[in-house]
Structure 1
Amino acid sequence: MFMPDTCCTLVPYFEIQDGQLDAFKALALKLVAKTRTEPGCMHYAFSFSGNVAHCREGYVDAAALLAHRENVAELLDEALKIARIIRFEVHAPEAEIDKLRGPMAARNPQFFALEEGIRRSSKA
């Protein structure tokens, strides 16, 4: 069974300051733990390549993504003291992007509008 796709995917890459990798990884674990409580989160995890971290994250819709941002704001601020975002993308249907443009403007993401695709329901 297929359903309308409202999924919003964030694609941030962080460049971690020299000597701060362990501290960033500790914060990443806290971010994952805090995100576990969010019913609208579909997936959330960090991967690393040297001093670059990527957070793989997806939400059921724009409202869930914005709720996540509020939930982790304090921890993200801590992470941004020892790392900087070097690339930041948002992938979502245009209708969901429209809901995110204003709230996310300060981070200056690159928006990618989803076109035709499929999304399976979890009951399929």
Structure 2
Amino acid sequence: MSHDNCCSIAPYFNVPEQRMDEFKALVGRFVEASAKEPGCLYYGFLFDGQTATCREGYDGADGVLAHLDNVGELFTQAQQIAELTRMEVHGPKAELDRLREPLSGMAIDFYELEAGFRN
């Protein structure tokens, strides 16, 4: 086992039915852009009716910040198509503390890891 510095992000979108195809096309661009990031551990979109969320994990705060720089324009486009209803960031306290200031302009719920392991 190793020290777990993984940070995950979970944005939730309410996608209007008439714009779902447009949103899903944008999802493909998100996946393509994120696949090239060395700090990205996993990434994928999930759907339940009109709700879309992204399951994404990064190698610490640096991986999160690099990702946000990489997909910033796409994230803006996503919010023009769908309503961002919730945003969560999960990870160890030390990593989350490094993210609080750079992400202070966003309404984010931070969840601190208290017990666990990573293989």
TM-score norm. by structure 1 comes to 0.93
SS at match of 1:13: strand
Alpha-carbon shift at residue 50 of structure 1 (Å) = 1.2
Q: Secondary structure at the match of 2:80?
A: coil
- Identity %, equivalent residues: 45
For residues 39-79 of structure 1, the C-alpha deviation after alignment (integer angstroms, 9 at most, x for no partner) is: 10011100111111010000010000000000001111111
1:24 — aligned with what? 23
1:82 partner letter: I
More helix by share: 2
User: What is the alpha-carbon distance in structure 1 between the residues aligned to residue 113 and residue 75 of structure 2?
Assistant: 27
Runs ≥4 in structure 1, deviation > 6 angstroms? none
Q: Does 1:42 align with 2:41?
A: yes
User: What is the TM-score with the length of structure 2 in the denominator?
Assistant: 0.97
Residue 16 of structure 1 and its aligned partner are, at CA, apart by: 1.1
RMSD (CA atoms): 0.8
